[in-house]
Amino acid sequence: MGHESLLNELWQSSLARLGGEAVINTSARELGAFQRARAVGCAADLLRLILSYCLGGMGLRTTSAWASSVGLAELSSVALLKRLRKCRAWMEYLVSALLGAAVQPAWAAHPAFGRDEHSKGR
């Protein structure tokens, strides 16, 4: 099995664990991470970009170049950064879905960001 086919198989397995492409697309739109297809064709492609950037050890420029070379997306490093900045809530949702529980983000209880509804009055 070649490197590229192994990567594609792992990617398909990851998508399935997250509920499939339909769930990925719906959750990304609802949480404001993906508004419309332009340089990035769909939310699943955006997720692949995010994971490549975060886990691949590449910078923004290299991730943009890689995305272009594999036909995933045509966007600059600045455009990629703008998209990444909109994905925080979506990533929290996906991680909590993988963990199987509604996980409160750690930053929500931090005094600088205010406490959530459950911790008021404590």
pLDDT at 80: 95
Residue 54 has pLDDT above 80, yes or no: yes
pLDDT at 34: 94
The dihedrals phi and psi of 88, each to the nearest 5 degrees, come to: -60, -55
* pLDDT grade for 119, boundaries at 50, 70 and 90: very low
**Both structure tokens of 3:** 């490197």
The dihedrals phi and psi of 96, each to the nearest 5 degrees, come to: -65, -35
pTM higher than 0.85, yes or no? no
Residue 20 to residue 26: CA distance in whole angstroms: 10
Q: Quick: pLDDT tens for 64-117.
A: 999 999 899 999 999 999 999 999 999 999 988 888 744 556 656 656 555 544
pLDDT at 122: 44
* pLDDT grade for 1, boundaries at 50, 70 and 90: low
Q: List the single range of 15-19, 97-101, 116-120 with lowest mean pLDDT.
A: 116-120
Q: Quick: pLDDT tens for 40-52.
A: 999 999 999 999 9
Q: What is the 3-state secondary structure (H, E, C) of 64-109?
A: HHHHHHCCCECCCHHHHHHHHHCCHHHHHHHHHHHHCCCCCCHHHH
Q: Where are the domains of the chain?
A: 3-119
Closest Cα partner for 28 from 108, 103, 81, 83?
Answer: 83
